[in-house]
Amino acid sequence: MTNRPELRLGGALAPGILAVVLFGLMAMIALNTGFSPEMEGFEGVDSITAEIGYAMFDLDALQSTEGSIPDTEAFLAAFLLIAVTLDAALDASLVLAKREEEGEPVTPLVSQRQGPGDGTRSGAGSSDRTTATDGGRGDSSDDADGAGETGGDTR
């Protein structure tokens, strides 16, 4: 007889509840937003990008007077907030993607580890095996035809 799966309660349930609450909040915002049947847009404006750029560098003299968009600082604040958020996400992705073995960063496609400045291999932890292109270690004594392999990694 098999046991029934049990629902884990407590701390493991919190992320799921938070996701459901955030989904509900976003759904309520989308459903309660009044969308006009006819979109207004920015009529008579040459370039919204130029207006935001002038606001960014505080160039009031260069802003167009006819057809200009007043109060573009709100657009500027949103632009800067998105830029900082995307920069933080990029930095975090680089930190997470950094590979390390034995506490040292791994350089891709290196055939052997070099000692500091002298072109020799480092003594500690090095062997006669070279780094394969897939990140694994290749053994120089492997058969060329692979007849003795059973499949999978041998470590």
Tokens describing residue 94: 């680089």
**In this predicted structure, which of 21-25, 62-66, 95-99 has the lowest mean pLDDT?**
62-66
Tokens describing residue 143: 């058969």
- Overall average pLDDT of the 46-56 stretch: 73
Other CB atoms within a 10 A radius of the CB of residue 38 amount to: 6
As to burial, measured by CB atoms within 10 angstroms (0-12 exposed, 13-18 middle, 19+ buried), residue 24 is exposed
Which pLDDT does position 25 carry in this prediction? 96
Which of 94, 95, 87, 126 minimizes the C-alpha distance to 110?
126
* Residues 3, 76: Cα–Cα separation, whole Å: 58
